[in-house]
Each structure stands twice: as C-alpha cells, then as structure tokens.
Amino acid sequence: MGAAIDIRHASVRYGAEAVLKDCSLSLRAGEFFALLGASGCGKTTLLRVIAGLCPLDGGTLSFDGAPAERTLQHRPRIGLAFQDQRLFPALSVRDNLEVAIRGLVPEEEHSGRQAEAFLEKMGILELADKKPGELSGGQQKRASLARALAVRPDILLLDEPFSGLHHELRRELRRYLREFQREIGCTTVLVSHDREDAEAIADRIGLMRDGSVETGESDRTEEN
Ligand SMILES: Nc1ncnc2c1ncn2[C@@H]1O[C@H](COP(=O)(O)OP(=O)(O)O)[C@@H](O)[C@H]1O
Ligand SMILES: [Mg+2]
C-alpha cells in the first residue's frame, strides 16, 4: 500500500552550499510523480531525504501525516534504485535481490521465486548467478531496478532508472513499471532528466529549480 509523503520547507546544505531551500512537496498515497531538473540541482538529494539517508537541516518530512522520525514502528517500506546502482559487488545478482527482500519484507510475504520473478521481468534472469561486475551498465541498471521492485515497496524511489538504456528497452520497462506501480499502489518518485519518460509514465510532473520543486499548480499551501 502506498504512503502519502509530505515535505515542508525542507532545507539541506552541504557545507556552505544550500542544495534544498524551502522545498515543499506533497504526494498522495499511490501517486506516480516524476521529478525533472538540471544536473546538480538536488534531485538525488531529495530522494535521499525521503529514503532517510540524508538528514534535513530544516523543515519536516512526514509519511501518512506522521513525522518520519516518529514512525519507526510503521515506517513505510522503501524501494530505492540508486542512480549509480550500488549493487553489492561480492554478491550474485540474485543475492542482491535476496538481501533486500530478507531485510525488508516480512517472512509471511515471502514467496519462493520472488527474486527470479523480478529478474525475469527485467529480462536478465539468465544473469542471476553473475556478479554485478560481470554485467554491462544497462544490465546493472535493470538489476538495481529489479531489487527496488522486489521488496514490493510502499514508496518507490527511482533515480534516473532508464538512463543509458536504448529506446526500445526503455519503452518496455516504462510500460512494465507503470503496470507494477498500479498493481502494488506504491507512491512513486521517478527522477529523470528526460521529459519524454516523465510524460509517458507519471500522473504529475515537477521541476526542481533553485533548491525547490515547482509543480505548476497553484500554491495552495495549507499552513498548519
Ligand atoms: N555528499 C555530498 N557532499 C557535498 N556535496 C554534495 C553531496 N551530494 C551532492 N552534493 C552537491 O549537491 C548538489 C546537488 O546534488 P544532487 O542532489 O546529486 O543533484 P542531481 O541529482 O539533481 O544531479 C550538487 O552541487 C552536488 O555536487
Ligand atoms: Mg542525481
């Protein structure tokens, strides 16, 4: 089940450089949101904030209306496909998925061939026993995407998941991802710098600029 995400007046700085500045964004549970923006504008930082990997210097993050730091017991399950994959190099592709599944999915939800099923969907089942280093960049990208989906997340964060993939495969993966997202109902943020990807797949698109997200909708920020 998807979780609503609410970010209010978030700021993040690296040293003297402010990357997120008074950044607010609200996503409905189950919404598919695409985030566009120039390189270096803070898209990855925003995903890291949602994933709990980057602390806020100011502002708040809540899931389903509860502050993220107070939702340890009911923390949404997050699937994250990193921009640079971050597969465990010493583990096989299959075990990269298994580690994520065992770490995040309660045992009663485990099904025998979960890892294989997702590798098959990504068209890389025959690579299951290989190490990430033996895969091409595009194959690693797909393994990383499979790992993010295989945990059947409440929140799915995808950081440029299609970059470097050729057109045909891109279209196929887009279609599959949309199907998966509808079936699972996970709240999804897709970071891209390709407007075509964003428009083909998302319910709503935002543009990151000057450290905050513009959604083009009227700013009816309820201040309470
Ligand atoms: N860990 C870090 N330490 C210092 N600066 C960082 C770090 N991560 C990102 N930055 C800087 O923050 C800015 C935004 O980075 P990032 O969120 O990766 O942007 P994007 O994903 O939109 O390309 C960039 O100027 C980048 O160099
Ligand atoms: Mg990035």
Nearest-angstrom CA–CA distance, 111 and 96: 16
The DSSP output letter for 222 is -
**pLDDT (0 to 100) of residue 218:** 53
Report phi then psi at 171, rounded to 5. Answer: -65, -40
**pLDDT (0 to 100) of residue 72:** 66
Edge to edge, what strands does the sheet with 212-214 contain? 78-81, 155-159, 187-191, 32-36, 204-209, 212-214
Q: Is the C-beta atom of 16 inside 6 A of ligand 1? A: no
**pLDDT (0 to 100) of residue 223:** 42
Listed residue (85, 200, 181) closest to 138, CA to CA: 85
Read off the pLDDT of residues 153-190 as tens digits, 9 standing for 90 and up. Answer: 999 999 999 988 999 999 999 999 999 999 999 999 99
Which residues are close to ligand 2, an ion, with C-beta < 5 A? 43-44, 83
Ligand 1 test: best mutation among 45, 83, 157, most atoms within 8 Å of CB? 45
Q: Which ligand is nearest to the CA of 163?
A: 2
**pLDDT (0 to 100) of residue 105:** 87
**pLDDT (0 to 100) of residue 220:** 46
**pLDDT (0 to 100) of residue 13:** 97
42: CA distance to ligand 1 center in Å?
Answer: 6
Per DSSP, what are the bridge partners of residue 61?
Answer: 7
Minimum-distance ligand 1 atom for the alpha carbon of 46: 17
Supply the residue whose CA is at minimum distance from atom 8 of ligand 1.
45
Q: Walk along the chain (224 residues) in steps of 10 and give the mean pLDDT of each run.
A: 95 95 97 96 96 95 90 83 94 96 88 90 96 96 96 96 91 94 96 90 95 77 42
Ligand 1 test: best mutation among 13, 14, 48, most atoms within 8 Å of CB? 14
Q: Is the C-beta atom of 44 inside 6 A of ligand 1? A: yes
Q: Is the C-beta atom of 211 inside 6 A of ligand 1? A: no
